[in-house]
Amino acid sequence: MSTNWDQQYHDGETPWDKGAPSPPLLEWLDLHPAEMQGRVFVPGCGLGHDVRVIAARPGIDAVIGFDLSPKAVALARDFPASGGETYVAGDLFALPDAYRGSCDWVWEHTCFCAISPSLRDAYVEAVSSVLKPGGQFLGVFYLDPYDEEHQPGDGPPHGSTLEELIDRFTGRGGFTLVESCLPTRAYPGREGLEWILRLVRN
């Protein structure tokens, strides 16, 4: 898969976009109906299906869908609003200072696996910087995106291991692990390949 994200949105070549929110996110929200509250940041939000489902929940004040691709952001804005969501085009690795410590939650879904593995510590630093102290990070990680045609080293998507993730976030990353589980719901074809992590920023 190319990393020219904006061109791919222009060309309509977006195989990752399933036209619906992440099933593990829906499952988690059903299991924890009142926990996600306040202001939520969604890096690499694409067309914003997850953004809108979060924005519609009670107790959510604002959701910022953030994506490198101006075209993705423009397409996301074309969907009917569901709550207090906004979409911003920008680079997660060059966040404006105004984002610092501004959010209660971060929701991650297929942004981490889209970036180069060499940027993973920078990713943890970026999402940590957005959170208030005590803010929470919830992510569904596509641990194993590989098949016969797509092997480690030729991503995105880039796989990861649970051990690596926990070490990266809880070690030097400054988070504490709160929840780690296999979601039971998945897009067709991703069953058993994703993992949910919830961490609190120390």
Ligand X SMILES: C[S@@+](CC[C@H](N)C(=O)[O-])C[C@H]1O[C@@H](n2cnc3c(N)ncnc32)[C@H](O)[C@@H]1O
- Cis omega (within 30 of 0) on the bond before 23? no
Residue 158 interacts with ligand X (CB under 6 A)?
A: no
Cβ atoms of residues 152 and 120 within 8 Å: no
Residue 69 interacts with ligand X (CB under 6 A)?
A: yes
Cβ distance to ligand X smaller for residue 118 or 134: 118
Cα–Cα distances (Å) from 193 to 33, 50, 155, 167, 181, in that order, read 24, 19, 16, 19, 12
Beta bridge partners of 196: 140, 181
Q: How far is the CB of 16 from ligand X (least distance, A)?
A: 4
Q: Which of 23, 43, 135, 173 binds ligand X (CB under 6 A)?
A: 43
* Contacts to ligand X from residues 46-65, by CB under 6 A: 46
Strand duo 103-109 + 131-142: pairing: parallel
Q: How far is the CB of 201 from ligand X (least distance, A)?
A: 19
**Contact letters for ligand X, residues 121-150 (x by CB under 6 A):** ------------------------------
Q: Which of 44, 135, 155, 159 binds ligand X (CB under 6 A)?
A: 44
* Contacts to ligand X from residues 17-36, by CB under 6 A: 17
Residue 91 interacts with ligand X (CB under 6 A)?
A: yes
Residue 87, H or E segment: strand 85-89
Judged on CB neighbours under 10 Å (0-12, 13-18, 19+), 168 is middle
Note the residues at the interface with ligand X (CB under 6 A): 5, 16-17, 43-46, 66-69, 72, 91-93, 109-111, 114-115
